[in-house]
Amino acid sequence: MRRLLLVNALIFAVLAAVVAFAYFGWANSSAVALRDEQFKLLNELAVEKILNIESNVEEADNRILKVVRLDQLDKLDEQVKSTGAAVASVFVLDADLRPVLNGSKDLTSRAQVEAVETRDWYLAHELRRAALEKLDLEKPTRRYGRGPDGKPYLLTFERKQLDGQNYYVVVEDDLNHLINFMIPQFFLGSRFLYQVADENNVVKQGWPFQYEKEALAVQIAFSGMLEGWHLRIAEPDDTAAKKVRDRRIIDSLLLGGAVAIILLGLGLLAIAIRRERRSNELKSDFISNVSHELKTPLAIISMFGEMLANNKTKSPEQATEYAEIIWRESVRLGRLIDNVLDFAKIERGMGVYEFAESDIVEVVERAIDLATRRLQTANMALEAHIGEDIPLVQLDANAFTLAVLNLVDNAIKYAGDGKKIELSLRRDGERVVLAIKDFGPGIPLEEQARIFERFYRAKEMRLKPIRGSGIGLALVQHIARAHGGDITVESTPGNGATFQLWLPI
């Protein structure tokens, strides 16, 4: 019955795991496709925004470079203003890289001195005559860098000519305006989160999210101007990103669950196989033990029966003795058959017990009576201590008698050398406890739990010529548990064994 349940559970577990795996595969592939789609979308968006931002800057620079007329530098102010471009400053240099008179225009709010200092710094550090001379005519070039105070700058410059002479127009882009006003405008009303990070990964503008921790985020480098800078775009956490995260959690739970189920299934399978093998071994032992046990008394009965039938007795006393032997062996045979039949009934899960309020003292005394002859033959004494205050209990008298007889029989069989058996029946709180103590070889600790298994016989006993079937204690345990109680054993090898069978009151 239990094995059937186990096998069913196993089949179910494996099926469930297979279904889970199939679902996982399917769900994962669609989730991956969805995720890829979302990443692609973000990527495209970032590339497009960068393109827009860069062409915007480029356009403004080109407009300025176009309007600056070398022959009308006195109108530089108006010319620059007319473009409406947001730049920090414009300055014109001659062929020797000297600022041209009236050729400098600062559009920031910084002091004049500071503007001049900044320009001179660019002249000293960024602009090289040899490099500038090689520039194509009227083709803007960009240079990004960090000033003396670590501030980023972006210069756009081109070579122009007037009367065969080289001039250079340099535009200092207004990065402050670009980062703090222009870029935010590109994301006005967008549902996405964005960030602009510089070459040191410092976030200069945007939302305060942590790029690395976002489930759905991309970063694209600015290509043509701010070298090393990135634009990052993330899906806000409450939308698709959350779905991706949830999906990821569900996926890992599902995968973990499926793996656990399969491992569990394999584990159970291994246990079931081991149990099956052991039970098969035990069963074949059982069959040979039982046949042996049946054959021996039968052989004795038939031998002495034949002697009696052929009048081969020397005296009437001998005839009585033979008859007693026949009787004893047939009782034993009967007990064995009872055991086997009851055990078979229990194994098939049939309701074999009939409970009634009974006097347990009477039942135990009757069992002792039934065992008297076997005790005498084995030359053993049974000391019984029956308590005074033992109440009536719910009991199947026949089954309980069988249990007591099995325990006493075992003590006779295995502990004959001890010569003595102590049986006690006492009340212990809400329990009635029957203890049967012998003084035989005892039971090794590692076998104490196993002797209650069906068909199990202790190793040492298997080597001795003591007959047994291995179902006695399994039956006693079943009877005890059916009564709501249990059986335990205590034994120190060499010092006998005590079996305690308790029932609830």
Task: By CB under 6 A, tell whether 222 contacts ligand ADP.
Answer: no
**Smallest gap, in angstroms, from Cβ of residue 293 to ligand ADP?**
8
Tell me the CA end-to-end span of the chain in Å, nearest whole number: 30
Question: Which long-range contacts link 337-342 to residues 24+ away (Cβ below 8 Å)?
Answer: 338/402, 339/402, 339/406, 339/469, 339/471, 339/472, 339/475, 340/290, 340/469, 340/471, 342/399, 342/402, 342/475
For tokens 């279904």, the residue is 19
State the nearest-atom distance from the C-beta of 495 to ligand ADP, in Å: 11
Min dist. Cβ of residue 403 to ligand ADP (A): 11
Paired sense of beta strands 431-438 and 356-358, if any: unpaired
Question: CB of residue 339 vs ligand ADP: minimum separation in angstroms?
Answer: 8
Residue 158 and residue 166 in contact, taking contact as beta carbons nearer than 8 Å: no
Q: Which is nearer to ligand ADP, 192 or 499 (CB)?
A: 499
Strand partners, 196: 205, 231
CB atoms within 10 A of CB 73: 18
Residue type, 341: L
Q: Which of 152, 418, 472, 485 contacts ligand ADP by CB under 6 A?
A: 472
Q: Pick the closer one to ligand ADP by CB: 188 or 463.
A: 463
x-or-dash pattern for ligand ADP, window 421-440, by CB under 6 A?
-----------------x-x
Rounded least distance, CB 480 to ligand ADP, Å: 13
Given 468, 480, 483, 500, the residue binding ligand ADP (CB under 6 A)? 468
Residue closer to ligand ADP (CB basis): 93 or 473: 473
At closest approach, how far in Å is the CB of 335 from ligand ADP?
A: 11
Q: Which is nearer to ligand ADP, 173 or 438 (CB)?
A: 438
Rule CB under 6 A: choose which of 473, 479, 480, 501 binds ligand ADP: 473
Question: Quick one: which segment of 15-23, 124-132, 324-332, 472-480 binds ligand ADP (CB under 6 A)?
Answer: 472-480
Cβ–Cβ < 8 Å for 475, 495: no
Residue type, 212: E
Helical H runs in 68-186?
Answer: 76-83, 112-125, 129-133, 175-177, 183-186
Helices 472-482 & 397-414 angle (0-180, nearest 10): 150
Contact set for ligand ADP, span 437-466 (CB under 6 A): 438, 440-441, 443, 451, 457-458, 461
- Taking the complex as a whole, the smallest distance from the CB of residue 387 to ligand ADP amounts, in Å, to 23
Min dist. Cβ of residue 455 to ligand ADP (A): 8
Beta strands, E only, 53-202: 87-93, 99-106, 141-146, 152-162, 165-173, 193-197
Q: Which residues touch 99 (CB under 8 Å, ≥6 apart)?
A: 91, 92, 93, 119, 123
Tell me if 477 contacts ligand ADP by CB under 6 A. no
**Residues 6+ positions from 181 with CB-CB distance below 8 Å:** 86
Nearer to ligand ADP, 169 or 346 (CB): 346
Q: How far is the CB of 305 from ligand ADP (least distance, A)?
A: 26
> Is residue 410 near ligand ADP by the rule CB under 6 A?
yes
Taking residues 335 to 374 in sequence order and writing x for each that binds ligand ADP by CB under 6 A, - otherwise, the string is ----------------------------------------
- Least separation in angstroms between residue 476's CB and ligand ADP is 7
Q: Applying CB under 6 A, what is the total number of residues that bind ligand ADP?
A: 21
List the x/- string, 370-409, binding to ligand ADP by CB under 6 A. ------------------------------------x---
Structure-token pair, residue 43: 């990527």
The C-alpha atoms of residue 235 and residue 245 are separated, in whole angstroms, by 12
Q: Is 282 in the site for ligand ADP (CB under 6 A)?
A: no
Contact at 8 Å (CB) between 483 and 394?
A: yes
Residue 411 contacts ligand ADP per CB under 6 A: yes
In which residue are the tokens 């414009």 written?
A: 90
Chain positions contacting ligand ADP, by CB under 6 A: 406, 410-411, 414-415, 438, 440-441, 443, 451, 457-458, 461, 468-474, 497
